[in-house]
Amino acid sequence: MRLRIKTSLYSFVLFFQLLQASSGVENFYLEGAFQKQAEDATQKTMAQDYEGALVSLKKIELVNKGVACVLKSIVLISRYDDLGDTLDLQRAAADLNSCQVQGVWDALRNFQLGFVQSQMGHSVKSAFTTRSAASSFKNNPDLDARGFFSIYAYYVDNSFSWLPFVSDQRVLHLTNLNQASQESKLFWPLFSTSLIWMYFDRGEFEKGLEIAKRILKDYPNHSVFLQIKADMLYKMNRYDEAQKIYLRSVDEYHQKTGPSIRYWCSVANLVKIYKAKGDAEQALKWKQRLSSDDFSSLKKWIPSSVLQGL
């Protein structure tokens, strides 16, 4: 997000603040240049230029500290997801507990806080926090609000889908989320990622792969979405393609982070790929890497689905 704020901006800032107050902040649109700057921050985050995104958000902070605080948490969570520094997760939690926002931005603050709490192992607290956020989004027709509500509502419906006579609107939620993943200006990466994993859980790996490929068309070197693409390919039994991506991922993360969470995810998936291909020698070779103390110290942060089948 490149922000270009002129010194003569004070009258516009006052107008912007008054507009927010009068509108009740029922959507996520930021007036004037600030919307473009916020969109640029999303693009910088997707380009994995996290420092650039954070610098841009410091400029938005001159106008609205609360909104900048919530957007900063998204950058920190994205950086954690990529580089695996749990301090970013802790910083995001601290920020989200202190951000002063109203309306949909406060709902988003709670939504993000619920996600962070789940990542830190506080599942019960996460459920209550996320439910609180979703209740604020429920009847809001705004595209982004519908997208966030659809994430929550899909998993609620999924949990009770086995019960007779219980409403199941998962297809509707997927449709709404798909629209948000393509049309949202600020949060499309969040919506796209959630949608991919929903398709993954449904066994609809081709649909998940198509979304990953769509994103990689614009960000071909995005290391997280490359791993996601490999996850889909592996489930589709396209082992050679998945293997190629994970070998690249091992080298990339070894160079930029050392033995981080995503480094170990790549190693673990290579073990499973070689097993699936019937190459016991290579599977054992990669599995021996998991004997490292570095792996043991990070194991609790690695998704259980990655560790299954080792």
Alpha-carbon distance 220 to 222, whole Å? 6
Tokens read off for 161: 């889908």
Range of 50-59, 123-132, 182-191 with top mean pLDDT? 182-191
**Per-residue pLDDT at 162:** 66
CB contact set of 130 (below 8 Å; sequence gap of 6+): 110, 111, 114, 115, 118, 152
**Per-residue pLDDT at 30:** 85
pLDDT in tens, 172-221: 999 999 999 999 999 999 999 999 999 999 999 999 999 999 999 999 99
Alpha-carbon distance 67 to 173, whole Å? 26
**Helices within 160-292 (DSSP H only):** 170-183, 188-202, 205-218, 223-235, 239-256, 261-276, 280-288
pLDDT beyond 80 at 291: yes
Task: Give the residue extent of every domain in the chain.
Answer: 9-102, 214-303
Alpha-carbon distance 271 to 242, whole Å? 12
Tokens read off for 309: 């089948």
Name which CATH class applies to 214-303.
mainly alpha
**Per-residue pLDDT at 253:** 97
| Chain centre distance of CA 153 | 17
Considering the entire predicted model, what is its pTM? 0.87
Instruction: State the chain's mean pLDDT as an integer.
Output: 88
Range of 25-39, 53-67, 79-93 with top mean pLDDT? 79-93
Place of tokens 């969109």: 39
pLDDT beyond 60 at 16: no
Confidence of residue 166 (pLDDT cuts 50, 70, 90): low
**Per-residue pLDDT at 21:** 35
**Per-residue pLDDT at 251:** 97
pLDDT in tens, 63-109: 889 999 999 999 999 999 999 999 999 999 999 999 999 999 999 99
Alpha-carbon distance 95 to 113, whole Å? 9
- Is 36 exposed, middle or buried (CB count within 10 Å of its CB: 0-12, 13-18, 19+)? middle
